[in-house]
Chain A
Amino acid sequence: MITRAGALHALESVTDPELPVLTIADLGILRDVRIDGDAVVVTITPTYSGCPAMAEIRSDVVAALTRAGAAAVTVDTALAPAWTTDWMSQQARDKLRAYGISPPTAGPSGPVDIPLSAVLGSLGARGRAAVGCPQCGSPDTEELSRFGSTSCKSLWRCRSCREPFDLFKDH
């Protein structure tokens, strides 16, 4: 029979298929793990509503826990509280940068009380820190496209080393 600690250890092998350097725990996708008799009940949350990796993550969770000796695995999906990049650990941010992706920059997103900015001011108004180039570290960077190769990334370019790079979007 598997313990909760054993289950958590086994889940350290489950990574995001689009970001193989990050585990689902690093990303904040893994919300809860509990033991219910012989079964392990895992709760995960999607990053974006349409994240196409959820089905693969779900089957990877089942496979990892089954390999670790779980007799039965249930994977629940919870939408609330909504996933936020604020849940990413510092270690996860460091791993992302080392992998060549600039980590999210903004602080927590609070409710916006001015009607106009509630609709329009939501992106620039979050007090973004400078986006540093993950290759050379220069803060002299520019956004090329707000949408990138996956839902969670936007496309940037470094004006110092001229290399393009992905930024993990604030969410």
Chain B
Amino acid sequence: MTRQTSRNEAPAGADVATYALGLGDDVLVLAQRLSEWTARAPQLEDDVALLNIALDLVGQARNLLSLAGGRENPGRTEDDLAFWRDETEFRNAQIMELDGGDFGRTIARQFLVSAWHVPLWDGLRASTDPDLAAIAGKAVKEARYHVGYARHWLVRLGDGTPESRRRAQAGLEDVWPYVGELFEPDPVTERLVTAGAAPDPAVIEPVWREAVEAVLAEATLAVPPTVRRPTGGRRGVHTSAFGPLLAQMQHLHRSHPGASW
């Protein structure tokens, strides 16, 4: 049996596990980036807000990684997946791992990602896989608060002082080349779309683009030109920013296996 054949005949459960792993890694890695703002945000309210968003994302990651690990044989726990995989085994899109930079870049990335999460989770609520649908049903409500927060700040920065505007535009341009990966077709997603288990990225993209263009106009920011970088996060290819992030996220767990408090 060739590799290609075995992949085509893989049960839907394996596809769901792969899909959930990618989406779970997205939110886990983004939560880790957001948590870097702990005690360092421009004001206390935003410290609290960014950490609340990170907490929602960690919760979503726990649900998605538990689902992914539970569909594997032999299974793995959420902790196995979060703490005992190395860089090339992570399946998050690269936009999630990029250095948060200044507040302008953090907000630009958060807006672009949350504006993708809302239609993604909304579509996934109708998944023929009941576990994916249940996780999405909770996540969509949370993502609506996230996109509202990021939109508010993007408009305030973009339509603010020359300095806040410069930083918002620069942050937007830093992360923009990485958005294409969110809509990239891949065989697993295509099979799940055919099975009614996942929303079609080609349907989500115009919804996302319309929302993004409307908010950038509101923020008086320019839509950056489309520059697509080499991607590969869903295949385990990551940027140089990712290794240090993982080291910080994993070292405590690996130094003290099984520890609890």
The answer to whether B58 touches A50, judged by C-beta atoms less than 8 angstroms apart, is: yes
> What total of A-B pairs shows CB separation below 8 Å?
104
- Majority secondary structure, B binding face: helix
Residues of chain A at interface, number, CB under 8 A = 31
The answer to whether A146 touches B118, judged by C-beta atoms less than 8 angstroms apart, is: no
Chain A, 47-87, CB within 8 A of any chain B CB: 48-52, 78-84
Can you list 8 residue pairs at the A/B interface with Cβ under 8 Å? A48-B142, A50-B62, A80-B134, A116-B214, A120-B215, A146-B149, A147-B48, A147-B145
Give the contacting residue for B138; candidates A83, A109, A115, A123; CB below 8 A: A83
In the complex, A164 Cα to B45 Cα: how many Å?
Answer: 13
A151 on the B face (CB < 8 A): yes
Give the contacting residue for B145; candidates A52, A109, A149, A169; CB below 8 A: A169
Q: A48-B59, A49-B56 are in contact. List 10 more A-B contacts (CB 8 A).
A: A46-B59, A79-B134, A80-B137, A82-B134, A115-B207, A115-B210, A119-B211, A145-B49, A147-B145, A148-B52
The answer to whether A147 touches B53, judged by C-beta atoms less than 8 angstroms apart, is: yes
A97 on the B face (CB < 8 A): no
Residue numbers in A under 8 Å from B63 (CB-CB): 49, 79
Chain A, 98-114, CB within 8 A of any chain B CB: 109
Minimum CB–CB distance for B107 against chain A, Å: 14
In the complex, A147 Cα to B226 Cα: how many Å?
Answer: 33
Chain B interface residues (CB < 8 Å from chain A):
45-46, 48-49, 52-53, 55-60, 62-63, 115, 118-119, 122, 130, 133-135, 137-139, 141-142, 144-145, 147-149, 151-152, 206-208, 210-211, 214-215
Minimum CB–CB distance for A12 against chain B, Å: 26
Minimum CB–CB distance for A28 against chain B, Å: 13
Chain A, 9-53, CB within 8 A of any chain B CB: 46, 48-52
Minimum CB–CB distance for A112 against chain B, Å: 8
The answer to whether A120 touches B134, judged by C-beta atoms less than 8 angstroms apart, is: no
The answer to whether B60 touches A49, judged by C-beta atoms less than 8 angstroms apart, is: yes
A155 on the B face (CB < 8 A): yes
Chain A, 127-153, CB within 8 A of any chain B CB: 144-149, 151
A5 on the B face (CB < 8 A): no
> With A82-B134, A151-B52 as given contacts, are A119 and B119 in contact (CB-CB < 8 Å)?
yes
Q: Which residue of B lies closest to A153 (CB)?
A: B52
Give the contacting residue for B133; candidates A49, A80, A83; CB below 8 A: A80
A122 on the B face (CB < 8 A): yes
